[in-house]
Amino acid sequence: MRHNRGIPSLIITLLTSAAMLVCAYAGHIDPRTMGWTAVAALGFPIMLVIALLVLICLVLLKRFKYAMGLALAILISMPTILVHVPMSLTRHTPEEGDTTLTVLTWNVIGFEPMDGTRDFITMRHLLDIDADVVLLQEGLFDKDDILKQRGVVPYRDEVSRQYPFHSHGFQDLMIMSKYPYTVVPTDSLRQDHGVVDGNDSYHTYCKAFDVSIKGRVVRFIDVHLQSIGIDQEDSKSGKSLVHKVQYAAKRRANEARMVRNFIDSCPRDVILCGDFNDGPATYSYRTVLGDDLTDAYKECAFGPSNTYYHHNLYFRIDHVMYRGDLQAYSCECPIAGNSDHYPVLTRFKMTRK
């Protein structure tokens, strides 16, 4: 009888451990081949919480043998855990004479308020943050100039003074810079609207700018990958949400590969920012990151964070990656503005060549 009482604990341990490992490494599998892996990879933070709760219950019930088995599964999942929950204690603080650079990336949804108010505060907060280079997604909707956007008009003179170099890239991608830049042709990337599988949606949004910073040129890449297209009903209907996640993940897999190919053709110093619409350790994240880019948040932060918070869904889907003679020494996601995304603010020092 005592032996039989251990069977439920064994089954729960095996199921939790298996689910934990699947979610941890699902991002290595192309969702175009197995669509369900996109859902598993995106749901890893939830699975991690469940696994920790089960582990605590096993310990409290003195099922130490099973607890050790689940702990082993969590340990094997540690590389993925550290992407979601970085524990960086290293501080690459700038030294005297180092050139520093502050970069902000933000999906501002046209500077429109998403909190039910009529307060156009996103641009106010952006100006107060005072980054050196700002890369925006969904910066323009029906206007051809940022200064004509309804949420920008009250700050038009201040924007021009603070960011003398600004323009939009393709459709909704924009740069605002204190330093001069040139636009990099990205004709290899598909940047248009079109109907795919009966869905009217967009292809890759990606634009690059070579920014001249105190005698050095850094290539900035602004990306906005395929949106899941979540609405209020999706947060209530799991079936609808799962379908949208799988469809969007397949689109992003194609887009991420095109972005990765473009990165491979870029010079050494690269800072890539944007709204991936995908979490850490997912397939599109891993594809863009490759073997040569560093995730600034993983490098500098301590603890989890989220950049999307709408519809009662909380994910870190906006990322900053870099390579070359650069070193991120701070990366945070401040609560600012009233977009459905929070910004990501990263501070770099430009290492000496």
| pLDDT beyond 90 at 17 | yes
Please report the pLDDT score of residue 2 as a whole number. 53
Domain identity same for 179 and 286: yes
Give the pLDDT score at 1: 46
**70 plus 44 within the same structural domain:** yes
Entry pTM: 0.89
Helix axes 7-25, 64-76, angle to 10 degrees: 0
134, 258: one domain = yes
Whether 54 is covered by a domain: the verdict is: yes
CATH of the domain at 182: 3.60.10.10
CA atoms within 13 A on the CB side of 324: 20
pLDDT digits (tens, 9 = 90+) for 27-59: 999 999 999 999 999 999 999 999 999 999 999
One domain for residues 132 and 213: yes
How many domains, the chain?
2
Mean pLDDT of 113-119: 73
How much is the pLDDT for 240? 73
Which helix (H) or strand (E) segment is 162 a member of?
helix 156-162
For residue 329, the enclosing domain spans 99-350
Residue 229 belongs to some domain of the structure: yes
Mean pLDDT (the chain) is 86
Q: Is residue 138 part of a domain?
A: yes
Choice between 6 and 325, residue whose per-residue pLDDT is larger:
325
* 90 has a pLDDT exceeding 80: no
More confident residue, 312 or 105: 105
More confident residue, 156 or 117: 156
Whether residues 223 and 332 fall in one domain? yes
Per-residue pLDDT of 173-186, as tens digits, reads 889 999 999 988 87
The verdict on 194 and 272 lying in the same domain is yes
Is position 31 within any domain? Answer: yes
The span from the CA of 314 to the CA of 91, in Å, is: 28
Instruction: Please answer whether residues 263 and 303 qualify as being in contact, where contact means their C-beta atoms are separated by less than 8 angstroms.
Output: no
**273 shares a domain with 148:** yes
Range with the lowest mean pLDDT among 58-62, 88-92, 231-235?
A: 231-235
pLDDT in tens, 128-163: 999 999 999 988 755 566 667 777 778 888 888 999
For residue 235, the model assigns a pLDDT of: 57
- Higher-confidence residue of 71 and 142: namely 71
Gap between the Cα atoms of 83 and 86, Å rounded? 6
Last residue of a domain, one of 31, 51, 84: 84
Query: Which residues touch 260 (CB under 8 Å, ≥6 apart)?
Result: 287, 288, 290
118 and 44: one domain? no
The answer to whether residues 251 and 341 belong to one domain is yes
Mean pLDDT for 333-345 is 91
